[in-house]
Amino acid sequence: MFRKRKDKQYNIAMLKIKNLSIRYRSTGQLAVKDVSFDLDEGRILAILGPSGCGKTTILNTISGLLSRQEAMVEGEISVGNGTSKIKMTTVFQEPRLLPWRNVLQNVSYGLEAKGDNKKEALERSRKVIASVQLQKFEDYFPAQLSLGMQQRVNLARALVCNPDILFLDEPFSALDIETKANVQALFKKILTKKKITSIFVTHNIKEATVLADKIIVLSKGPASIENILDKKKLNEIPKEALNYFESFDE
């Protein structure tokens, strides 16, 4: 029933992107140009770049949310070891919870929808809700929760499906500064502890350095890779570069 995470290992590629280029069919606009990177299992990658550069386009292409009818995609995307099916889930900027379902019902919804045993689904949901520190709020409805709490429910709803890769698109940008710091710390703790392979999009350098093991820095659109920074090298970023990154934050 619950897949053990103990077998998760670093240094095994979970995702390999090679020469990815993406063009929207409706406008003919090239949104992403020749992007290559890889990500090991259990690691957190940040895609950092200015607003409108093509971050969401990259994320949605990898996760399958952007259809090939909408965009022409060139290059290679290989996920997992290519043999077993990989589960992917996305956490969006807005929590998008179902307003008529309480916290527990929101989290268990995905499991119930795919036909899991209801009792087991609830049991598993309760555990995940506890991991985002909302065990006292299981009966609350979204409108009764702060935005930060709603975003924690949103994460719980993604985690309950036990994804092999978790995508997060600017998950903290709707939160006020203080809430943001707390929710970021909690997300980081959970993703690291559970070794969830994650890719998150941000235009904030501080957020990227706090959360990620690896950062890919994109140019203005069409997005191409300006730099790939390993966590160990983050201290070596020159000040001019930091100022440049901070200019992404409007």
Ligand X SMILES: Nc1ncnc2c1ncn2[C@@H]1O[C@H](COP(=O)(O)OP(=O)(O)O)[C@@H](O)[C@H]1O
- Positions in the binding site for ligand X (CB under 6 A): 24, 26-27, 29, 31, 49, 51-57, 70, 221
CB of 26 to ligand X, least distance (A): 5
| Contact partner at residue 102 from ligand X, Mg ion, none, CB < 5 to 8 Å by partner kind | none
The option from Mg ion, ligand X, none interacting with 61 (CB < 5 to 8 A, set by class) reads: none
* 56 versus 150: smaller Cβ distance to Mg ion: 56
Long-range pairs of 194-197 with CB within 8 A, sequence gap ≥ 24: 194/5, 194/159, 195/5, 195/8, 195/10, 195/41, 195/42, 196/42, 196/159, 196/163, 196/166, 197/14, 197/15, 197/39, 197/40, 197/41, 197/42, 197/43, 197/44, 197/164, 197/165, 197/166
Residues in the interface with Mg ion (CB under 5 A) total 1
Give me the least distance between CB of 222 and ligand X, in Å please: 8
Whether residue 222 has a cis bond before it, omega within 30° of 0: yes
CB of 77 to Mg ion, least distance (A): 19
Q: Which residue number, 94 or 116, has a Cβ lying nearer to ligand X? A: 94
DSSP code string of 186-208: HHHHHHHHTT-EEEEEES-HHHH
| CB nearer to Mg ion: pick between 56 and 154 | 56
Shortest approach of ligand X to residue 240 CB, angstroms? 22
Nearer to Mg ion, 158 or 168 (CB): 168
Instruction: List the single partner that 54 binds among ligand X, Mg ion, none, CB under 5 to 8 Å by kind.
Output: ligand X
Which sign, positive or negative, has the C-alpha torsion 121, 122, 123, 127? positive
Q: Which two tokens stand for residue 60?
A: 């949605």
Instruction: Determine how β-strand 44-48 pairs with β-strand 225-230.
Output: unpaired
Query: In this complex, which beta carbon is closest to ligand X, that of residue 164 or of residue 207?
Result: 207
Smallest distance from the beta carbon of 2 to Mg ion, in angstroms?
33
Per-position x/- string for 42-61, each x denoting binding to Mg ion as judged by CB under 5 A, each - no binding: --------------x-----
CA distance 15 to 82: 10
- Residues in touch with Mg ion (CB under 5 A): 56
